Amino acid sequence: MASSASPRSATAAAMMAVVVAATLCLHGATAQQCEDYYASTCPDAYDIVKQVLIQAQESDVRIYASLIRLHFHDCFVQGCDGSLLLDTVPGMQSEKDSPPNNGSARGYEVVDAAKAALEDACPGVLSCADIHAIASEISVELSGGPGWGVLLGRLDGKTSDFNGSLEKFKDVGLNDVDLVALSGAHTFGRVQCQNVAAGRADRLYNFSGTNMPDPSMDSAYRAFLSQRCPRNGNGEVLNDLDPTTPDTFDNHYYTNIEQNRGFLISDQELKSSPEAQGTTAPIVDRFAGSQDAFFGSFA
């Protein structure tokens, strides 16, 4: 007859399960991220985060788009280390307070809620960086976009880089297809009037200092935005990045650009600028014609 396991042997077995799970993520002598990093230590992690996000979206229809943007802004500074989640403390100014994020990036409280739920289920196991990555994938999938196996095993960053640049595609080995695919995250979410009707971003009234609108913008779309964003009006008024399906993750971002209905100049330039011809413009055409191609590249 088998004997009952002692507390010491039970603890040893649990520790061995953690070691085995971590070993599965090793490749040669270098630790690698893997999809089942928490399979033994927190097997319900994905479902826990998903439930938190579903509840958050019931009161905030923008939250899925906000979370994917939050993850993007985190990753392009010091890597996907969750450093964007850190608060400013003496001697370290947070990335939260940098110009691209201050008053604009949102969704921090949902990441906090997911962390709290996971701490209840499996204390001290998941890093905030991994929670952020999981939340981003779930946000896209729940909005109708592609799913992908999230590679897990990130460590949380302990420092924040206030001056980190987001213009790092080439620095991290990303190419034109990556640029156009990741820009497709603008297929959902909202943006303020000041990003199309004020200062250097003005496409409605003083494009490039000409005191004229951007000639590349569709005239009907420009008239619509002019009503939403009158000259010298409230710059914080929100507008749909995708006026056709604003809360669905699909390829309408690209079909809008094809019709000269890109809200941000950085979006429209992927198709319309002289430099885009022969580089990013054909990729926009391909994604506009095939949602599957876009989803595959984005994932």
Q: Which residues contact 145 (CB under 8 A, 6 or more apart)?
A: 249, 250, 295, 298
187 is in an annotated binding site: yes
Is 27 among the catalytic positions?
A: no
3-state secondary structure 225-243: HHHHCCCCCCCCCEEECCC
The reply to whether 44 sits in an annotated binding site is: no
Spot the catalytic one: 27, 71, 73, 252: 73
Q: Is 167 annotated for ligand binding?
A: no
Is 242 assigned to a binding site? yes
Q: Is 245 annotated as a binding residue?
A: yes
Close Cβ partners of 64 (under 8 Å, ≥ 6 residues apart): 53, 57, 139, 140, 142, 143, 188, 247, 249
Convert 263-298 to b/e letters by CB count within 10 Å (16 or more is b): bbbebbbbbbeeebeeebbebbebbbeebebbbebb
Pick the closest to residue 143 from 190, 188, 107, 109 (CA basis). 188
CA 37 to chain centre: 22
Question: Does the annotation list 95 as a binding residue?
Answer: yes
Is 186 annotated among the ligand-binding residues? yes
Contact yes or no for 258/280 (Cβ under 8 A)? no
Report the catalytic residues.
73
Instruction: Mark the binding-site residues for heme b, compressed into ranges.
Output: 186
Positions at the binding site for Ca(2+): 74, 77, 79, 81, 83, 95, 187, 242, 245, 250
Residue ranges at the known binding site = 74, 77, 79, 81, 83, 95, 186-187, 242, 245, 250
